[in-house]
């Protein structure tokens, strides 16, 4: 056996990567993420609907388990995992996401508030009536092309023969590679009228089309407030739609007023409803909306109903404006009308979407009527053969009785071949030689039952023939005349609109920009308290003055600050976390407070608090930093006036940690104590000022395995003693040395 010669092909790596990436990107764009402009469906949606059609799960038949549908779709057409198929199935059944639901779900299919659907083994589904009659009808009439599935064992439609512009009616969203699509849903009746207008005048402009399509029509209702910007969005296929929820006022108990949210922006569907409730609660807690006394979500299957109970005499207009400004009750919907058109992704204008749809409809209609015409022509041929056969039925019976096989009969009927057939008379044989039926007619004659010769049956055959001739004439007219075909499509649209259309739910208007004047917070002194367990709170100055001794006795950290200030938390990991004083609850002295971990990014489980103080006091001083490896520096407090909630307060080497952070301006000496019992006292001014990003200078030379355990800043006039072993050690009396010394060993 001859060995195969080895062949090495040299390829530029960058070219290979580029080609592979482009192939991958196009595969994701075309075969997974983007909808086709013709049927407005992504491949997973198309395959799921077609599979349900193939399984016979029609709207007038029993529901079937979703697990069966998902498994069948995955096995036959969509080999990308069951979760993506089930998710597509669920979304197609949710009336709060789709302008027109395509799947009739039975069971828990999720909620508008973001609850997920039950597992596919529990839920059931079937096709909606509109899906069967508008999306999947005529698949048996060769109206669309079919292609092989992934393993070439089945055929699947490359596009569904959808008779409405589904891309507009249901919208679309999808993330591909380097591009994304986001198309809002529209009103079926308006879209149908726009299609009819385009068919009457193909030179119609987007502005003229917008006389029919006013704008998006979201299933959640709401208000589109930038009407004047819609024209540009529909002309370019991209832009931002401003949405607002609908807020109404109701009379509450005791002459009070309630604000009721009855419709939400489409972008709030899901977890954002819960976030809205949390945002309102935060506004109340932070005293920005003190007029709101209670929030309740009374939403049900009937619709959204979020009730905000207000105090008597509350400023309703200002509160409504606050909700629009401070929560997602006013939001933007980013439009990017990207779809696959002619096999490639393209951003389309409103007119282009309708243009592609109409072209597709004419193609589908042409193929449908060509198929119907071919069927009627076959029927006419057979009918004419049978009518002609009735006139010579005695001769045909004679041929049948005198023949030895069906083929002999067929040859005689189609070509007049009489050899081998016994005739009663020569005249009959002569007549038989003149027979000229077609093959199809001959087969129909052979299949004909004697009952067809009854007078009434003959009459019915003649009547049926007349109907066939009328249909042929009609189909030929439709195929040969643009206006006739357009009328058929229009009639279809009118029928669909009549049966499935619904009134518009979203209002389109030009609303003024919301003006909300936030009440200025009255600045005042408060006292910050935090116990050893990390529970923090603020108390009034009056309460503090009356309970000063108890406050300092029970709490680890106590300092005065402004309610408009920030609290700075320095940790042993070199981080500084900030929290607004307004976020710290203002409580009574005996109230527990809130864990500081819940108010900022500080985590007591991962880092240790070294110093806490108000930003104002930090800015007015120099902070002295000392680390366990003996590094030290002074930092101007102004460097810590930052917008971020967490910043690096100092730079640390690997394995190092901060031991001391303290305002140093009023201090004169620094005392360092090592684990092995060495003490070093020197003047604070020997520590240079550095940036917060610097490591600092060495303050003490440490022995092997030794580290700084404690650091103390001392005033010159004040005596400071610590417990060291079994005796008291007065730090002020330690020998005064220089920075970067080894220190003196002190026995405890």
Query: Helix 455-480 to helix 482-500 angle, to the nearest 10 degrees?
Result: 100
Q: Is the pLDDT of residue 589 over 90?
A: no
What pLDDT is recorded for position 519?
64
DSSP 349: -
Whose CA is closest to 660, among 686, 693, 635? 635
Q: Answer for the pair 243, 526: CB distance below 8 angstroms, yes or no.
A: no
**CA 34 – CA 593 distance, rounded (Å):** 51
Query: How far, in Å, are 61, 222, 264, 295, 336 from residue 292 at the CA level?
Result: 51, 23, 19, 8, 38
Class of residue 501 by CB neighbours under 10 A (exposed 0-12, middle 13-18, buried 19+): middle
Q: How much is the pLDDT for 500? A: 95
> Are the C-beta atoms of 365 and 446 separated by less than 8 Å?
no
Distance CA 324, CA 308 (A): 14
CA distance 576 to 471: 84
- In degrees, to the nearest 5, what angle opens at C-alpha 233 toward C-alphas 232 and 235? 60
Distant-in-sequence, close-in-space partners of 601: CB < 8 Å, separation ≥ 6: 577, 645, 646
pLDDT tens across 564-577, in order? 899 999 999 999 99
Helix and strand numbers, DSSP H then E, in the chain: 21, 35
d(CA 317, CA 33): 43
* Mean pLDDT of all residues in 678-686: 93
Query: pLDDT tens digits, residue range 327-373?
Result: 999 999 999 999 999 988 999 999 999 999 999 999 999 999 999 99
pLDDT in tens, 223-282: 999 999 999 999 999 999 999 999 999 888 877 889 999 999 999 998 889 899 998 988
Of 247, 262, 97, 73, give the one whose Cα is nearest residue 173.
97
DSSP state letters, 215-238: S---TT--EE-BGGGHHHHHHHSE
Q: Please give the share of the chain, as a percent, with pLDDT higher than 70.
A: 98
> Average pLDDT, stretch 286-292?
81
Look at 312-316, 449-453, 476-480, 723-727 and tell me which has the smallest mean pLDDT: 449-453
Average pLDDT over residues 553-581: 93
Beta strand pairing call for 658-663 and 697-698: unpaired
In contact, 45 and 77? CB cutoff 8 Å: no
CA dist., res. 167 & res. 171, Å (int) = 5
Q: Can you give the pLDDT at residue 459?
A: 85
Residues β-bridged to residue 700: 741
pLDDT at 433: 86
Give the pLDDT mean for 457-463.
84
Cα–Cα distances in Å, from 674 out to 371, 631, 704, 736? 96, 13, 11, 16
486 and 494 Cβ atoms separated by less than 8 Å: no
Q: Which of the following is catalytic: 53, 122, 544, 611?
A: 122
With a cut of 90, say whether residue 504 has pLDDT above it: yes
Q: Under a CB-based contact definition with an 8 Å cutoff, are residues 623 and 634 in contact?
A: yes
Task: Give the pLDDT score at 339.
Answer: 94
Q: Is the pLDDT of residue 27 over 80?
A: no
Average pLDDT of the residues in 9-34: 80
High-pLDDT (> 90) share of the chain, %: 64
**pLDDT score recorded for residue 455:** 65
Terminal alpha carbon distance of the chain? 92
Q: How does pLDDT run across 701-714, given as a tens digit for each residue?
A: 998 889 999 999 99
Dihedral (CA of 333, 335, 336, 340) sign: positive
Residue 2 has pLDDT above 60, yes or no: no
Distance (Å, whole) CA 645 – CA 225: 35
Q: Look at residue 517 in the predicted model and tell me its pLDDT.
A: 64
CA 280 to chain centre: 23
Model confidence at 3: pLDDT above 60: no
Interhelix angle 350-391/482-500, rounded to 10 degrees, is 110
Which range has the top average pLDDT, 114-128, 286-300, 516-530, 706-720?
114-128
pLDDT at 80: 86
The yes-or-no verdict on residue 221 having pLDDT over 70 is yes
Tokens 């993420």, residue?
A: 33
Q: Does 376 or 389 have the greater pLDDT score?
A: 376
Rounded Cα–Cα distance for residues 619 and 650 (Å): 16
pLDDT in tens, 170-189: 999 988 888 889 999 999 99
Cα–Cα distances (Å) from 295 to 253, 275, 279, 289, 313, in that order, read 15, 13, 11, 12, 18
Distance CA 648, CA 29 (A): 42
Mean pLDDT of the chain: 90
Kindly write down the DSSP assignment for every residue of 549-562, as one continuous string. Answer: HHHHHH-SEEEEEE
Residue 595 has pLDDT above 60, yes or no: yes
From the list 173, 131, 151, 160, the residue with the least C-alpha distance to 34 is 173
Interhelix angle 406-415/393-402, rounded to 10 degrees, is: 140
Among 575, 577, 561, CA closest to 524 = 561
Rounded CA-CA distance 96/117 in Å is: 14
Determine how many CB atoms are found less than 10 A away from the CB of residue 363: 14
> Over 80: is that where the pLDDT of 720 sits?
yes
Q: d(Cα 371, Cα 377) in Å, to the nearest integer?
A: 10
Query: How many residues are given for the chain?
Result: 748
Read off the pLDDT band of 518 (50, 70, 90). Answer: low
**Contact (CB, 8 A) for 59 and 125:** no
Whether 1 has a pLDDT exceeding 60, the answer reads no
Confidence (pLDDT) at 11: 79
Signed CA dihedral, 372, 377, 383, 385: sign only: negative
State yes or no: is 122 an active-site residue. Answer: yes
Residue 580 structure tokens: 């607004």
The H or E element containing residue 148 is: strand 146-148
Predicted local confidence at residue 256, as pLDDT: 84
E strand map for 22-164: 64-65, 103-106, 124-127, 146-148, 155-157
At 134-173, the pLDDT tens digits run 999 999 889 999 999 999 999 999 999 999 999 999 999 9
Per the CB < 8 A criterion, the answer to whether 669 and 714 are in contact is: yes
Whole-model pTM over 0.85: no
In whole angstroms, what is the distance from residue 165 CA to residue 748 CA? Answer: 88
Average pLDDT for 481-490 = 94
Query: Which pLDDT score, from 0 to 100, does residue 301 have?
Result: 82
Contact by Cβ (8 Å): 737, 696: no
Of 199, 243, 215, 250, the closest CA to residue 99 belongs to: 215
pLDDT of residue 4: 60
Dihedral, CA of residue 324, residue 182, residue 130 and residue 83, to nearest 10:
-100
CB-based burial label for 567 (10 Å; 0-12, 13-18, 19+): buried
Q: Name, in order, each residue with C-beta under 8 angstroms of 29's C-beta and a sequence gap of 6 or more.
A: 176, 177, 179, 340, 345
SS3 373: helix
């Amino acid at each position: 056996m001859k060995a195969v010669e080895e062949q090495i092909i040299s390829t530029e790596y960058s070219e290979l990567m580029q080609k592979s990436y482009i192939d991958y990107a196009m595969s994701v764009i075309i075969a997974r993420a983007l909808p086709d402009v013709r049927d407005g469906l992504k491949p997973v949606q198309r395959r799921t609907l077609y599979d349900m059609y193939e399984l016979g799960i029609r709207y007038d038949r029993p529901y079937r388990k979703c697990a069966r549908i998902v498994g069948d779709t995955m096995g036959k057409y969509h080999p990308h995992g069951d979760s993506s198929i089930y998710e597509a199935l669920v979304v197609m059944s949710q009336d709060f996401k789709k302008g027109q639901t395509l799947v009739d779900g039975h069971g828990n299919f999720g909620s508008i508030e973001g609850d997920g659907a039950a597992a596919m083994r529990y839920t059931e589904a079937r096709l909606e009536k509109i899906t069967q009659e508008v999306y999947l009808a005529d698949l048996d009439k060769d109206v669309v092309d079919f292609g092989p599935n992934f393993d070439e064992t089945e055929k699947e439609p490359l596009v569904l023969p959808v008779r409405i512009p589904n891309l507009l009616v249901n919208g679309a969203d999808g993330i591909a590679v380097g591009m994304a699509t986001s198309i809002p849903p529209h009103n079926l009746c308006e879209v149908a009228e726009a299609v009819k207008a385009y068919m009457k005048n193909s030179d119609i402009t987007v502005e003229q089309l917008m006389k029919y399509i006013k704008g998006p029509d979201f299933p959640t209702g709401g208000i589109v407030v930038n009407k004047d910007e819609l024209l540009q969005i529909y002309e370019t296929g991209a832009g931002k739609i401003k949405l607002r929820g609908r807020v109404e006022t109701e009379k509450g108990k005791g002459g009070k007023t309630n604000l009721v949210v009855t419709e939400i922006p489409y972008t709030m569907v899901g977890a954002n409803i819960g976030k809205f409730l949390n945002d309102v609660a935060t506004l109340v807690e932070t005293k920005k909306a003190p007029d709101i006394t209670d929030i309740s979500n009374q939403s049900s299957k009937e619709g959204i109903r979020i009730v905000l109970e207000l105090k008597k005499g509350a400023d309703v207009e200002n509160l409504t404006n606050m909700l629009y400004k401070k929560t997602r009750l006013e939001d933007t919907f980013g439009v990017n009308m990207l779809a696959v058109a002619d096999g490639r992704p393209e951003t389309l204008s409103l007119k282009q979407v309708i243009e592609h749809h109409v072209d597709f409809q004419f193609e589908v209609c042409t193929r449908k009527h060509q198929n119907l015409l071919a069927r009627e022509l076959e029927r006419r041929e057979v009918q004419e053969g049978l009518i002609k056969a009735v006139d010579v039925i005695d001769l045909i019976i004679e041929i049948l009785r005198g023949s030895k096989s069906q083929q002999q009969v067929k040859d005689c009927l189609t070509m007049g071949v009489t050899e081998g057939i016994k005739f009663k008379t020569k005249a009959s044989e002569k007549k038989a030689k003149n027979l000229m039926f077609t093959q199809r007619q001959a087969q129909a004659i052979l299949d004909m039952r004697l009952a067809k010769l009854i007078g009434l049956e003959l009459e019915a055959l003649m009547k049926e023939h007349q109907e066939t001739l009328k249909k042929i004439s009609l189909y030929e007219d439709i195929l040969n005349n643009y206006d006739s075909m357009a009328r058929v499509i229009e009639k279809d649209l009118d029928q669909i609109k009549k049966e499935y259309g619904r009134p518009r739910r979203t209002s389109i208007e030009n609303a003024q920009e919301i003006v909300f004047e936030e009440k200025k917070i009255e600045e005042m002194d408060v006292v910050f308290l935090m116990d050893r367990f990390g529970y923090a709170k603020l108390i009034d100055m009056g309460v503090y003055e009356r309970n000063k001794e108890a406050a300092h006795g029970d709490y680890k950290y106590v300092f005065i600050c402004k309610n408009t200030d920030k609290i700075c938390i320095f940790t042993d990991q070199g981080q500084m976390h900030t929290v607004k004083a307004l976020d710290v609850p203002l409580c009574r002295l005996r109230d527990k407070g809130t864990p500081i971990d819940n108010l900022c990014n500080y985590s007591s489980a991962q880092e240790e608090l070294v110093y806490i103080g108000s930003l104002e006091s930090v800015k007015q001083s120099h902070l002295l930093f000392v680390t366990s490896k003996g590094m030290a520096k002074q930092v101007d407090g102004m460097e810590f006036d930052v917008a971020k909630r967490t910043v690096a307060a100092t730079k640390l080497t690997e394995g190092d940690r901060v031991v001391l952070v303290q305002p140093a301006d009023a201090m004169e000496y620094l005392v360092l104590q090592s684990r092995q019992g060495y003490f070093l006292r020197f003047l604070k001014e020997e520590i240079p000022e550095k940036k917060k990003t610097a490591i600092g200078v060495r303050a003490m030379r440490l022995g092997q395995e030794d580290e700084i355990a404690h650091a103390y800043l001392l005033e010159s006039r004040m005596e400071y003693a610590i417990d060291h072993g079994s005796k008291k050690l007065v730090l002020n009396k330690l020998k005064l040395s220089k920075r970067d010394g080894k220190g003196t060993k002190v026995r405890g």
